[in-house]
Structure 1
Amino acid sequence: MATTIKKRKAHRKSREGCVQCKERHAKCNEVHPQCLQCKRANILCSFSSPSLSITPLNEDSLVDLELLDHWHRHSVTGFLSETTMHLQHDLVRLGFSHHYLLNSILSLTALQLYSQDQSQSKWYTRAVAHNQAAITRARPHLHSLDQTQHRALLGFSAFASMYTVAEPPLRTAHVRSLQAQFDPIEELLRALQFSRSTTVFVRQNFSPLIISESWLLAKPGGNRGEGLQDLEIRFPQLAPLRECIERWCEGGQRAACLHAVEELFSRITKLLDNSEDSESAKVIWGWGIEVDQIFLDMCWARHAMALVILAHFTVLMSFVKKFWCMRIWPGALLGHIRQVLGDEWEDALKWASISSSGWQHWYRGRRLAAA
């Protein structure tokens, strides 16, 4: 006679049971907000109270939290008034809905931390990763514009432009060994071209209201009431520079170089007359956005006269030489241009070669003596 083997009655295992039932090894019926076992025992059920996930924060999450803390406690984008500081904090909240904006904020913050201590290569690695993520995530929104994205895209454009300025001089030795030798002229022109493109994009696609409210865009030009002749009275070194332009340039190139020089010294005048301008970095960077494309093309072609004018841009940049994004640029750019041009153009570069602090003290002293 065959023996009948009784099968054990199958039952559904409780995999999402409450904490109390798991501790008592009891079967939980997983009823919310209080399971049957806890109700019978008249005890508090974990289903009826909120609980945190037991999944630990990973290393990247902790690093990003540290970056956000640094962004809120320090002025990553330059000296800001109390009003603009609040706006900067608001962009973080906006970034939680538009992740490409948050990525651009984190990339810029990581880059600033790396500029403070370049032995901490983790910050450079994090900056590059967030910058790449920001561009990848923003690209679809740039192709298919939606009004709800305008403020986030405006912030992304500004922070991405700032990143293109700050990153090249900070590249690690390992990264530079994989690329061509660092060329300050080429890198600066790339950064200017990126800023010009994003500015054109914003002006063509965003409402005037959003543009007018923004503190992120580069500031307009200097004291427009002063023409080139008026500027020559304030800056004697401008006359020989203009004579060089007349001698070495013709037609459209001459007009582009004269405009670049007038725009440059107009902005120098503006900063000298408003030394406490909290947004001086935007006044400075706006020069590269306002100059004629012909002038930038001449710089790309290493036209000697254009490079002489570009060397004078380092005087303007020196107004914010303590700002981490610009700190390395004046010396690196001027030194490279002097190497490219050689001794033949040393006299034309003499004024630009004077240290920024010494020159500003000299200029203010000259004005006081004249008064």
Structure 2
Amino acid sequence: MQRRSHKKSRQGCGECKKRHKKCDEFRPQCVNCTTANIKCSFAGNQSPDGDGYMISVGSAEATQSPRPQQAISTQAPGPEAAKAYVNLLHLELFNHWNSNSCKGFLSESTLPESLPLFLGYAFSSPFLMHETLAISALHLSTLRTDRAQFYQDESSKLQAEALRLFNESVTEVTDENLIPAFLFSATFGMHFLCGILSKPNPDLDYLFDGLVQSITILAGVIGVVWGRWADIVRSDVSSMLVIDDYEGEVDDEITQRFENLQGRIGKAPGLDSSQAKVLEDAVGDLILAYKLSYSADPATNRRMVRGVTTWLMKVSSGYSELVSQRQPEALVVLAYFAILLHRCRRLWTVRDAGRVLFDAVTLYLGNDWESWLEWPRSIVYRKD
């Protein structure tokens, strides 16, 4: 089966050119350099007024398990980073979060209890408040299409400022900042993922590299709570957590197809033994994530979204590297992961992300891989 080659970027950073990688041209540090944990040549050329920013969570090894405690980090926008300010737009975003956007992150059944708790932590932790407003702006960009770009730009600015504030104030996780840091890490990771997959992007490399970075960012959630999960479960935010497991046996069509993929993918021609093991483990994590999120009722979105975040936090850095290399079998696994996203489509945070990801995989791989993609296509495009 033919494997696609990368297109070269004329404006890419020096490191990507040396490594023959397609550069996404993010500033002040591109995704490839961030993932590889090397200094990007853009970092020394970023002007103080630049709007670009890059998110980084440790190194590529951050996704391995077990993971040591680590914090989410970013390259700051520059010495002229925007100072804290409040305006009517922020009041609009705050009001929209309380009345609408919060339902994509907090369970509606516990909102009367969980929303005031969440806001209490947001008011005491500016990085969490900025991220909350950034999410609200992203949501409004999907509702007010005539001003979509305006709200998207505001979301990006608020998100960048949230990261800057987080890195300034959370140099280590303590009893005092554990819960705000956890809430920020979880909401930011999902926000970043959904931003990447919010709509089709003709630049497939940008989409796949962004997905790799989402995996790295969500690995930072594990770093934040490593060894402290029991403290979080016992805290006042326990009502926000989905910690109960489905007690019945899960042996439906999706489970069986995932298991068939696990048995098949490691035998694909051209893989060495280590690559085969990485791919089999990634599908095994997919099976676990699906079972943890299982619900016979498709309206139970909160349980279903648990599967999305579980898989992204569990997959190894070895799998992320295969996606970075555009290993076809690794992209096939993403096509199956798109099913978990598609099951959450009623949430505004996810919407069409499953189809966006699946379509990107099929477009990238082409007809040679149709036999691998036929079944997931039937699920992602099944009429409701």
TM-score, normalised with respect to structure 1: 0.68
CA contact (8 A) 1:311 1:337 kept: yes
Name 1:149's counterpart in structure 2.
Answer: 177
Do structure 1's residue 310 and structure 2's residue 337 form an aligned pair? no
In structure 2, C-alpha distance between the alignment counterparts of 1:247 and 1:323, rounded to whole Å: 35
**What is the percentage of aligned positions where both structures have the same residue?**
17
SS of alignment partner, residue 349 of structure 1: helix
| Cα deviation code 1:101-137 (max 9, x no counterpart) | 1111111111111122232133223212211221111
Aligned letter for 1:70?
Answer: H
Name 2:90's counterpart in structure 1.
Answer: 64
Once the 2 structures are TM-superposed, how far is the Cα of residue 163 of structure 1 from its aligned partner?
Answer: 1.9
Name 2:215's counterpart in structure 1.
Answer: 192
CA contact (8 A) 1:111 1:123 kept: yes
Alignment of 1:51-200 (within 5 A): 61-76=87-102, 77-78=104-105, 80-120=107-147, 121-170=149-198, 183-200=206-223
The gaps in structure 1 that reach 5 residues or longer are 1-58, 362-371
TM-score, normalised with respect to structure 2: 0.66
In structure 1, C-alpha distance between the alignment counterparts of 2:151 and 2:365, rounded to whole Å: 36
SS of alignment partner, residue 146 of structure 2: coil
Do structure 1's residue 254 and structure 2's residue 276 form an aligned pair? yes
In structure 1, C-alpha distance between the alignment counterparts of 2:267 and 2:253, rounded to whole Å: 15
Aligned letter for 1:353?
Answer: R
| Cα deviation code 1:113-169 (max 9, x no counterpart) | 112223213322321221122111111222144422222111111221122112234
Computing the radius of gyration from Cα coordinates, the structure with the larger value is 1
In structure 1, C-alpha distance between the alignment counterparts of 2:181 and 2:258, rounded to whole Å: 42
Q: Residues 223 and 270 (structure 1 numbering): CA distance in 2 closer, same or farther, change over 3 Å?
A: farther
CA contact (8 A) 1:106 1:130 kept: yes
SS of alignment partner, residue 143 of structure 1: coil
Q: Residues 141 and 341 (structure 1 numbering): CA distance in 2 closer, same or farther, change over 3 Å?
A: same
In structure 2, C-alpha distance between the alignment counterparts of 1:146 and 1:272, rounded to whole Å: 34
| Cα deviation code 1:236-272 (max 9, x no counterpart) | 5743662242234343322222222223234334545
| Greater helix proportion | 1
Q: Residues 183 and 327 (structure 1 numbering): CA distance in 2 closer, same or farther, change over 3 Å?
A: farther
In structure 2, C-alpha distance between the alignment counterparts of 1:358 and 1:88, rounded to whole Å: 35
In structure 2, C-alpha distance between the alignment counterparts of 1:222 and 1:296, rounded to whole Å: 29
Once the 2 structures are TM-superposed, how far is the Cα of residue 183 of structure 1 from its aligned partner?
Answer: 2.8
CA contact (8 A) 2:126 2:165 kept: yes
Q: Residues 181 and 187 (structure 1 numbering): CA distance in 2 closer, same or farther, change over 3 Å?
A: same
Name 1:30's counterpart in structure 2.
Answer: none
Q: Residues 143 and 209 (structure 1 numbering): CA distance in 2 closer, same or farther, change over 3 Å?
A: same
Alignment of 1:9-48 (within 5 A): none
SS of alignment partner, residue 247 of structure 1: coil
Q: Residues 236 and 149 (structure 1 numbering): CA distance in 2 closer, same or farther, change over 3 Å?
A: closer
Do structure 1's residue 291 and structure 2's residue 291 form an aligned pair? no
In structure 2, C-alpha distance between the alignment counterparts of 1:79 and 1:357, rounded to whole Å: 28
Q: Residues 81 and 332 (structure 1 numbering): CA distance in 2 closer, same or farther, change over 3 Å?
A: closer
Q: Residues 238 and 147 (structure 1 numbering): CA distance in 2 closer, same or farther, change over 3 Å?
A: closer
Q: Residues 69 and 300 (structure 1 numbering): CA distance in 2 closer, same or farther, change over 3 Å?
A: same
Do structure 1's residue 263 and structure 2's residue 291 form an aligned pair? no
Once the 2 structures are TM-superposed, how far is the Cα of residue 346 of structure 1 from its aligned partner?
Answer: 0.8
Aligned letter for 2:263?
Answer: R
Aligned letter for 1:68?
Answer: F
Q: Residues 244 and 224 (structure 1 numbering): CA distance in 2 closer, same or farther, change over 3 Å?
A: farther
Do structure 1's residue 339 and structure 2's residue 363 form an aligned pair? yes
| Cα deviation code 1:7-31 (max 9, x no counterpart) | xxxxxxxxxxxxxxxxxxxxxxxxx
In structure 2, C-alpha distance between the alignment counterparts of 1:231 and 1:355, rounded to whole Å: 13
Aligned letter for 2:186?
Answer: A
In structure 2, C-alpha distance between the alignment counterparts of 1:233 and 1:353, rounded to whole Å: 13
Q: Residues 336 and 241 (structure 1 numbering): CA distance in 2 closer, same or farther, change over 3 Å?
A: same
Name 1:351's counterpart in structure 2.
Answer: 375
CA contact (8 A) 1:141 1:149 kept: no
Aligned length: 293
In structure 1, C-alpha distance between the alignment counterparts of 2:354 and 2:327, rounded to whole Å: 20
The gaps in structure 2 that reach 5 residues or longer are 1-84
CA contact (8 A) 1:224 1:266 kept: no
Once the 2 structures are TM-superposed, how far is the Cα of residue 207 of structure 1 from its aligned partner?
Answer: 6.1
RMSD of aligned C-alpha atoms?
Answer: 3.4
